Structure 1
Amino acid sequence: MTMPRWTRARLGMVPAAALALCVAGCGTQHVGDAADGNGSGRPTPPAAATPGAQVDFPCPGETPKSAAPSPSSTAPPTDHYAENHGFLVPIELHGQNRCDGLAVVAKVKKVLEPLRRRGDFDPDKAHTALTGLGYSAGKVRAYQNGSTGVGFLIDIGAAPWCVEGTMDSATTKADAFAGYPDGTGCEPAKGGH
């Protein structure tokens, strides 16, 4: 039985592709190189140069934080609560977006602080104060949070996407984040898996 010409051509492509991969190589480490890549005097690329890596740096006015201790156990949790509720965890901001988010949070706290000091926890007044920062009335939600507090959510529409927080007699808290996994805008998804 004879093979059609196009089948022979395709079969010939497989060894050619494998040969190309072998010639190109898969990495940059060579025989005699140290594990850190400095055996031949070539510099090791910094971790920040890795595609997709997000670099955080101190933002203006920010006090550097010490590194959080890493968890001592790498064993997976026995229940899947965290995995199943991951859609409720906000997406963190990194790099310049994080700095921009911190700046927005400072503005939000500054405009709400006079209301908090007066004990004025009216959601309509909080809404008016937040829209006074230039945010569209339709993108700002303020609501009663417990008997003596106000909660708020601002959909910025650009990075940072969202600012969420609370104001009560003790403090005004706010956080900037980039939405929720599987959510729409600044709203988390209605269910997980």
Structure 2
Amino acid sequence: MSSCGQQRTGSGPGSSATPSALGPARGNVEPGSDGGAPHYQENNGFKVPREMTPAGEEAARKEAARIEPVLKRLWKDNVWDPDSVRAALLRLGYRSGDGLQPGTLVVSSMGERHILTQIDPVTPEGALFALRVRKDACVRGAVRPSGSQSEVSGPFLETGCFEPRGGH
């Protein structure tokens, strides 16, 4: 206890509390930050997709419905390498491109991941894809050994239709 009957917290001598156990100071948690630090939404705004118009969402859902059977077939056939996924999705009539123009498709590997138990990064099996349906609408997803998935959303500010991986 400190003077005036206030309880002391901190990580200095004689304190058993740790900063991680304390969390942000009362009143510094933003609504919608899930208990996170101050400025959570500001610092993570790049992870929030732009809004879709109702017409954009309808168009994206229509394309997702065309894509999902292809993804399920690829997964069932144990095919999830990026070249095969790209070829299968291009057969639906999309164009390979930068993903910035409507109708363009980007397919990539899962990307390197750092695993705490390994010195060198690893690249998991599978493929990520992103289809720009309209200026305001995307379909993105993956095919990998554990399954396939797709989802619709607006584009991300910095990464187009691909969900951002980390901060900047």
TM-score scaled to structure 1, two decimals? Answer: 0.51
- Give the root-mean-square deviation of aligned CA atoms: 3.0
- Give ranges in structure 2 of 5+ residues lacking alignment: 1-28, 31-35, 98-103, 111-122
- Larger helix percent: 1
Aligned to 1:143: 108
Q: Is the 8 A contact 1:160 1:176 kept in 2?
A: no
Q: Is the 8 A contact 1:117 1:169 kept in 2?
A: no
- Residue by residue, what CA displacement relative to the aligned partner does 1:133-163 show, whole Å, maximum 9, x if unpaired? 111112322222242221111223x255322
Structure 1 154/169 Cα, relative in aligned 2: closer, same or farther at 3 Å?
same
User: Could you tell me how far 1:79 is from its partner in structure 2?
Assistant: 2.1
- Please identify the structure whose Cα radius of gyration is greater: 1
The alignment status of 1:170 with 2:146, answered yes or no, reads yes
Q: Is the 8 A contact 1:166 1:172 kept in 2?
A: yes
Q: Percent identity?
A: 28
Structure 1 92/110 Cα, relative in aligned 2: closer, same or farther at 3 Å?
farther
Aligned to 1:93: 52
Aligned to 1:179: 155
SS at match of 2:127: strand
User: Could you tell me how far 1:128 is from its partner in structure 2?
Assistant: 0.8
SS at match of 1:141: strand
Q: Is the 8 A contact 1:101 1:160 kept in 2?
A: no
User: Could you tell me how far 1:117 is from its partner in structure 2?
Assistant: 0.3
Aligned to 2:130: 153
Q: Find 1:130's aligned residue among 75, 79, 89.
A: 89
- Give ranges in structure 1 of 5+ residues lacking alignment: 1-74
Amino acid aligned to 2:93: G
